[in-house]
Amino acid sequence: MSVKASRVAVDGCRWPSKYRHATKDDAFAAIAALERAGRGSPDMSVYPCAGHWHTGHSIEKFKARIQRSLRGGRAKRSKSNRKGRR
């Protein structure tokens, strides 16, 4: 079975192994909880999928951060990643 075929669930969800949030607000709350726990990322976003919502890394935000880094500027870190570093 190919990787692409294995990601398609019976109910139409492309990422069946990811947590499903009932509403967009629930998904944003999950991102906020990750930030509070120190496990957040500036690339995180929410997206709809087959009647529910997932959280994940935004390709656009990730590419922009990498491009800034390659131009010589430092990649922007989230507050949680700055803790304890001086």
| Tens digit of each residue's pLDDT (9 = 90 or more) over 30-66 | 999 999 999 988 889 999 998 999 998 888 888 888 8
Q: Decide: 54 and 46 in contact? Cβ < 8 Å.
A: yes
- The HSE-up count of residue 79 (CA atoms within 13 Å, CB side) is 5
Whether residue 42 lies inside any domain: the answer is yes
Whether residue 82 lies inside any domain: the answer is no
pLDDT digits (tens, 9 = 90+) for 57-77: 888 888 888 888 898 755 555
Tokens of 73: 């500027």
Whether residue 13 lies inside any domain: the answer is no
Whether residue 6 lies inside any domain: the answer is no
pTM: 0.60
Dist. CA 16–CA 12, nearest whole Å:
9
Whether residue 67 lies inside any domain: the answer is yes
12, amino acid identity: G
Which domain covers residue 47, as residue numbers?
A: 18-75
| DSSP type of residue 81 | H
Whether residue 27 lies inside any domain: the answer is yes
Dist. CA 83–CA 30, nearest whole Å:
20
